[in-house]
Amino acid sequence: MFAHHGGVEYDSKHPLTVKGTVSEFMFANPHTSIVVDVKDDKGNVVHWTVQCAPPSGLRRGGWTKHSLNVGDQVEVTVNPARTGAHVGTLVKVVLADGQVLGHGQLGENEPN
């Protein structure tokens, strides 16, 4: 379990914030994921995949399966992949109305 969830592939010391449009939101086990379409400096769309806690952990933080919808404008802060790939683990999401959704958490003794 620790090997799978160690997180060494992500850089938690240098979080990155991107702004874009939700193109996919999968509120499912084993991990919820969000795909955000972000325009780069040249105007090209880059798909950022954001791995989140399982739904049970996000629910404790106030999330529901309707927290994000395709087309929503969001600002997402992630711990980015050390490889430079456009993936990361969720730190927080800021919705267009300013509402902040955190990363959620696993409960003690809770399976993934």
In this prediction, residue 7 carries a pLDDT of 65
Q: Are 101 and 53 in contact (CB under 8 A)?
A: no
Mean pLDDT across the stretch 38-66? 94
Average pLDDT taken over every residue of the chain: 88
Q: How far apart are CA 29 and CA 59, in angstroms?
A: 13
Residues across the chain: 112
Q: How far apart are CA 4 and CA 38, in angstroms?
A: 28
- Confidence at 20, pLDDT banded by 50, 70, 90: very high
The fold for domain 2-102 equals OB fold (Dihydrolipoamide Acetyltransferase, E2P) (2.40.50)
The two structure tokens encoding residue 102: 């955190």
Q: Flag the least confident range among 1-10, 19-28, 57-66, 76-85.
A: 1-10
Q: How far apart are CA 31 and CA 112, in angstroms?
A: 8
- Locate the domains of the chain by residue range: 2-102
In this prediction, residue 2 carries a pLDDT of 41
pLDDT digit string, tens, across residues 66-112: 999 999 999 999 999 999 999 999 999 999 999 999 887 644 333 33
The two structure tokens encoding residue 68: 């994000």
